[in-house]
């Protein structure tokens, strides 16, 4: 009996512990499984067909609220703006900015990322590649109707906007609180957590009274794919060749603004960074949740107009 205890204590348990630790390290350090690439060529597809396909996809996922549907608004300028919302949000998040830019004459496509605007369970079976791929209908709607295209992405939408810029033809990118570095340290453990829990309730949110447009919980598998997307975006940053304008609040309570500063310093493109030093300004910059919304809108408009006149 004593010999069995010795074997268990000094040989079996250490190897079991080593195996568990080794497995955890492998899971937590798994590389993004999918490579992104340029969109398939849809330049010969009628824009009404592209919009119809995009809306049918939303309906197939049970999107009921009209403000969570993708939306296209033609403007009298020959410049298109693709708006991309964040993780667990919906097109509603970018609608105020889209309406503002459309009033200024820009053609606007406010996209719905697949898995959003309906039930958070959809995010359990979709990947960052699916989110990226769902942008092609809005991108080609603008590509087939405008001379120039700019992308504006909020949070995770900023990451997707960067990846569209890595692989496709466009004229510039605007990033609003890009999710380049999540503040909550528990986010690092979602690759392990996905095997034990399906979702995590939001502990804090300035969108708690907007449940029609934002999920009240975060899909853990969805967060794993967000983690992959963050890593992928950093790994391929040298592919960025387009001008960027970056906004971030120093008091962002979801994403560390220092990630934006680091990314800004490491990319070699025409660039501008706007850091907001106001404790009232948190994560979402694209809507009335941001008290400095109008100032940001005006800055975006000025930047777009300056880019539009450049050859």
What does the pLDDT look like over 278-290, one tens digit per residue? 999 999 999 988 9
User: Is 227 a member of any domain?
Assistant: yes
The overall average pLDDT reported for the chain is 90
Q: What is the structure's pLDDT at 252?
A: 96
User: Is 11 a member of any domain?
Assistant: no
Using a pLDDT cut of 90, give the percent of the chain over it.
77
The 8 Å CB, 24+ separation contacts for 95-103 are 95/67, 95/71, 95/287, 96/286, 96/287, 96/288, 96/293, 97/152, 97/286, 97/287, 97/297, 97/300, 98/71, 98/73, 99/73, 100/297, 100/301, 101/75, 101/300, 101/301, 101/304, 102/73, 102/75
pLDDT over 60 at 16, yes or no: no
Q: What is the structure's pLDDT at 29?
A: 58
User: Is 286 a member of any domain?
Assistant: yes
pLDDT over 90 at 113, yes or no: yes
Burial degree of 256 (CB within 10 A; 0-12, 13-18, 19+): middle
User: Is 236 a member of any domain?
Assistant: yes
| Residue span of the structural domain in which 153 resides | 61-309
Tally of structural domains, the chain:
1
User: Is 85 a member of any domain?
Assistant: yes
User: Is 265 a member of any domain?
Assistant: yes
User: Is 80 a member of any domain?
Assistant: yes
User: Is 3 a member of any domain?
Assistant: no
State the Cα–Cα distance between residues 36 and 32, nearest whole angstrom. Answer: 10
pLDDT over 90 at 108, yes or no: yes
> Which token pair is 10?
């000094």
Any idea what the CATH number is for the domain that residue 130 is in?
A: 3.40.50.1820
Q: What is the structure's pLDDT at 4?
A: 58
């Amino acid at each position: 009996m004593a010999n069995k205890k010795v074997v268990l204590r000094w040989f079996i348990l250490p190897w079991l512990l080593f195996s568990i630790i080794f497995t955890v390290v492998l899971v937590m350090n798994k590389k993004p499984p999918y490579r992104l690439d340029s969109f398939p060529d849809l330049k010969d597809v009628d824009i009404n067909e592209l919009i119809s396909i995009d809306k049918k996809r939303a309906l197939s996922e049970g999107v009921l609220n009209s403000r969570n549907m993708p939306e296209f608004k033609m403007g009298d300028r020959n410049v298109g703006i693709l708006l991309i919302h964040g993780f667990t949000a919906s097109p509603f998040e970018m609608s105020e900015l889209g309406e503002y830019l459309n009033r200024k004459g820009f053609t606007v496509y406010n996209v719905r990322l697949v898995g959003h605007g309906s039930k958070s369970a959809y995010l359990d079976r979709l990947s960052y590649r699916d989110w990226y791929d769902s942008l092609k209908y809005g991108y080609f709607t603008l590509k087939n109707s405008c001379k120039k295209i700019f992308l504006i992405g909020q949070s995770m939408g900023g990451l997707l906007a960067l990846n569209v810029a890595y692989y496709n033809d466009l004229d510039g990118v605007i990033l609003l609180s890009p999710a380049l570095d999540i503040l909550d340290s528990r986010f690092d453990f979602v690759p392990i957590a996905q095997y034990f829990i399906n979702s995590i309730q939001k502990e804090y949110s300035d969108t708690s009274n907007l449940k029609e447009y934002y999920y009240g919980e975060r899909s853990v598998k969805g967060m794993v794919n967000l983690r992959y997307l963050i890593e992928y975006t950093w790994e391929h940053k040298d592919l960025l060749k387009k001008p960027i304008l970056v906004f971030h609040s120093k008091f962002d309570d979801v994403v560390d603004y220092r990630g934006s500063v680091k990314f800004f310093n490491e990319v070699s493109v025409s660039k501008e960074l706007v850091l907001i030093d106001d404790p009232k300004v948190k994560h979402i910059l694209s809507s009335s949740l941001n008290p400095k919304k109008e100032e940001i809108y005006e800055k975006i408009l000025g930047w777009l107009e300056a880019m539009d006149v450049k050859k």
